Amino acid sequence: MNLVPGTRGSLAAAFVGALAIFAAAAAMIVLRTGRHAVAPDDASLAAAAKILMRDVQKGDAIGFHPEWSASQKWRFVEAYRQNALKYDESLIVGDPTDLWDADGFKRLWVVSTHNRAGTLKLPARRLRDEDLDHGTELLLYDMGVSRTAYDLRKHLADAVVERQQPDGSIKRCIWNGEAKHICGGDWWLDVSDAVHEVGNSRHNGLMIQPGGHNGLARITWPRPAPARVLAGRVGLRLWAVRNDIGSDVKVRALVGDRDVWSIVLHKGDFTWHPFEVRLAPGDAGRPVAFEFTATDGNWRQTVIDARLLDATEAAAIPPPAAVPPGAAPAPAPALLLAPAAAPPAKKDKRGKRS
């Protein structure tokens, strides 16, 4: 075959170029696959615990991102114990980690694994970012000043829980002296603080189910601290939206005898709904109540987490975004914190800055 002079060299060069592009693409695929497959090893978790043991302070919270990846927790328990601090009281179990859950702490440590640190976008000042290899990073955030005047969930023992009976009478539930209001009958009628799955995320909240035909449940805090804003999030639990039994749920907030906010949750709505109510001067210190009603309250398990804020200006609590099954939830911005400053330069475990 006769070729135009120079053609053979051009073909060879084109072949080499195409091969180089293919090799680069293959290397990128391998690299990305490898990064997403990296799990923490003993050394990386030990390095994180060592830093924590040296630098943890009173008022520091700790969380894991993603929460399901938390392993070898005994290392971090020991770091807190060695500093005479209580790990269980400092652990943030929400997934994804958000600053609403960590409110009230001075700082927040996050052990991030599986190369997921880049998906953690908390609107708080990042103080440290330690790269410990094997997809593991240790992050530290400044929590700023909390504006929570009264956390209703954490004052569950002070609340009064009442349920309307089939005959129309009102029955008061009994506080068991530990962590639950016992309402009699089935367990799902009781009210306690636990981690629940709402909107493809898992966070603490009070589960309240209206229950039965024309069900009504009401929870009241008779003597809350004076505050200027009532804020929080509410939504239907996973087990509720999985079941077609029951009707929509109306949630109503009252301060004293005044309605201040309400929402109707469609029985298939699997989303956190934020709310924020600016209170009137005369509302300070008055009883705060939430009322849950449904024409058919069966399976209408509703989760709420609310607080009273002593704030002149409050941003509504942004909930974890509802996302398609299998996708990673977008991290939720936290409540009432100054805009995040630029993060510090990342350091690897050898102390070099990138």
Instruction: Provide DSSP, 37-77.
Output: H----HHHHHHHHHHHHHH--TTEEEEEESGGG---HHHHH
What is the structure's pLDDT at 14?
Answer: 52
Q: What angle do CA 221, 225, 228 make, to 5 degrees?
A: 105
Assess contact for 268 and 241: CB atoms under 8 A.
yes
Q: Whole-model pTM?
A: 0.75
**Omega prior to 96 cis, within 30 of 0:** yes
Strands 148-151 and 201-208: unpaired
Please report which residue ranges of 174-237 form alpha helices under DSSP H: none
What is the structure's pLDDT at 25?
Answer: 53
What is the structure's pLDDT at 339?
Answer: 30
> Is the CA virtual torsion 194, 198, 202, 204 positive or negative?
negative
Q: In angstroms, how far is the first alpha carbon of the chain from the final one? A: 56
What is the structure's pLDDT at 213?
Answer: 85
**Domain assignments of the chain as residue spans, ordered by start:** 42-146, 148-309
**Secondary structure element (H or E) that encloses residue 91, with its range:** strand 91-92
- Spell out a b/e string for 110-141, using b for 16 or more CB atoms within 10 Å of the CB, else e: bbbbbbbbeebebbbbbebbbbbebbbbbbbb
Q: Which amino acid is at 180?
A: K
How is residue 95 annotated by DSSP?
B
CA–CA separation, 247 vs 300, rounded Å?
7
Q: Is 245 helix (H, G, I), strand (E, B) or coil?
A: coil
Q: Which fold has domain 148-309?
A: Jelly Rolls (2.60.120)
Q: How many helices (H) and strands (E) does the chain have?
A: 5, 20
Structure tokens at 139: 């992050």
The β-bridge partners of 347 are 130, 353
* φ and ψ of 155, to 5 deg: -110, 35
Q: Which stretches in the chain have pLDDT values below 50?
A: 1-4, 27-35, 37, 312-345, 348-354
CA–CA separation, 274 vs 288, rounded Å?
17
What is the structure's pLDDT at 29?
Answer: 44
What is the structure's pLDDT at 13?
Answer: 55
